[in-house]
Amino acid sequence: MALKGLLERLRPRGSAGGAGVGGLERHFFPVLGCLLACLFLTLQFRMNPAGGDAVLYSGLADNLLQGRGYVDNVRHDEIIPPIGHPLVLAAVRRAGWPTGNLGFLLIFLSIALVFHLGLAATRAWWAGLALAGLFVLGCHRHFNVDGAEASILFFNTLLVWSLARALSSRKPAWYAFSGTAALAAILIRPSLLIALLILSLWAAARIFSGKPFPGRAGLWFYAPLLGGLAAAAGLSQSRYGDLRYLSGTYGSIPVYCAFNGHIDLRQPYHSELWSGLPPDRLEAARRPMVKTTDWRARERALKAEIRDFVRRHPRRALSGVVWRLKTYTFWNTEDRYLFFFWLSVLSLAALWLAPLPGAGQARLAATLFFALGMWIVFMKLFFVYTDNRYTIDMMPYFIMPPAMLAGALSARLRRARPPDDAGQG
């Protein structure tokens, strides 16, 4: 009875007697059902207790709230991530909301955005839900309370969703919104920073040469993105003399773990690999990772070790890169991720090879988003981590080729319908 009363309160007014049924009334229960389905998909994720990184994020957020600055007084090792996720936690706490369930909210919003992508592409409720279910199937679903995974998933999904809207509408407001989403995604994990800067040069060249795509409205994408990056870099440089807001203070540690002569580079990385070394080799291997005077000295020592290893052992360095590439494309231990990745590849191939009249924009959009996802894969080749939770940020980009293929097939089926059946179903 309580549920019935809630639904009655949620129903739009003016529905009594069935007269004057409008668009909102007609779609009320389908929308409600789809939201409940998205909620069910959200419950497939699991939130583990906060781990070491999540505790660090939480402590950094508290520092921002209490005016202590973006400094490490949690672990005291000056291993600080980019400012994005701690800033999200700080903003939520500033609003007076607890962050314990923030992850579930961000996951739900991500799934809802993917559902809307499928709905907008195909105009079919079931297709939107199928795309959302496929998205969840490919995602690693074990997150940590206060961890960055949910923020990474949401803001990359928000970028894909808003940029797709901008490309279809060509409206400056949507470009500006997607540029803001890109800024947030980069501040959380800067994998796309170089790619979007390269893309900005390409877009600027097309805009000023009078090309119709993306048009002058596309400049609005770069206004918040480049302006925000410049502001973050300037503030970080003025306050701390470095770029910790953008890149953190530990970038060379995972690169060193991927390019060193002490451990086998062709296997999944975990910290226990170092413990298996003899004591003398263990000390030599860990020495560059230990902070001496400050983190800048540690970074210089690590970069020197990386350059020396690549120069002395180029084949071993390359073998590690190739192994990580295979892990993200052929030999991943998570079959669901491989299914999702190859579905994206085959969907993109079908878009380009199948006779789909009028699918030119869908082909370009799918190629753009797939290329952004592959750029993230390329960046991961130079870092040591290959756990399934590190595939989270590629998922929103790899969902776009299936979405665009579904949209192109749906459009072709609509054109093939007899005139009497158009608009039904």
Question: How high does pLDDT run on average in the chain?
Answer: 87
Kindly write down the DSSP assignment for every residue of 217-246, as one continuous string: GGHHHHHHHHHHHHHHHHHHHHHHSS-HHH
For 170, residues 6+ apart whose C-beta sits below 8 A from its C-beta are 214, 215, 217
CB environment 381-413: b (16+ within 10 A), e (fewer)? bebbebeebbbbbbbbbbbbbbbbbbbbbbbee
- Asked if 163 and 67 touch (Cβ cutoff 8 Å), the reply is no
How far separated are the first and last CA of the chain, in Å rounded?
32
332 or 13: which leads in pLDDT: 332
Q: Model confidence at 24, in pLDDT bands (50, 70, 90)? A: low
Token pair of 304 as six digits: 């020197």
Tell whether the model's pLDDT for residue 98 goes beyond 80.
Answer: yes
- Asked if 193 and 251 touch (Cβ cutoff 8 Å), the reply is no
* pTM exceeds cut of 0.85: yes
264-267 contacts, C-beta under 8 A, 24 or more apart: 265/316, 265/317, 265/319, 265/320, 265/323, 266/319, 266/320, 266/323, 267/323
The average pLDDT across 258-273 equals 90
The residue written with tokens 């991530």 in the block is 81
Percent of the chain exceeding pLDDT 70 equals 90
* DSSP tag of 384: S
pLDDT of residue 6: 39
CA distance 393 to 295: 27
Kindly write down the DSSP assignment for every residue of 269-303, as one continuous string: --THHHHTS-HHHHHHHHGGGS-SS-HHHHHHHHH
pLDDT of residue 90: 97
The alpha carbon of residue 104 and the mean position of all alpha carbons in its chain are separated, in whole angstroms, by 16
What digits encode the pLDDT tens for the residues 298-349? 999 999 999 999 999 999 999 999 999 999 998 887 788 999 999 999 999 9
- CA torsion, ordered 61, 67, 72, 74, to nearest 10 deg: -60
Q: Model confidence at 280, in pLDDT bands (50, 70, 90)? A: confident
What digits encode the pLDDT tens for the residues 48-69? 998 889 999 999 999 999 999 9
CA distance 295 to 288: 11
The domain locations on the chain are: 34-249, 252-317
CB environment 337-364: b (16+ within 10 A), e (fewer)? bbebbebbeebbebbeeeebeebeebbe
Nearest to 188 by CA among 61, 328, 50, 77: 61
Q: Model confidence at 215, in pLDDT bands (50, 70, 90)? A: low
What digits encode the pLDDT tens for the residues 123-167? 888 999 999 999 999 898 889 999 999 999 999 999 999 999 998
The average pLDDT across 218-230 equals 90
What angle do the packed helices 172-188 and 219-240 form, to 10 degrees?
A: 30
pLDDT of residue 266: 92
198 or 402: which leads in pLDDT: 402
- Asked if 399 and 130 touch (Cβ cutoff 8 Å), the reply is no
Burial of 92 (0-12, 13-18, 19+ CB in 10 A): middle
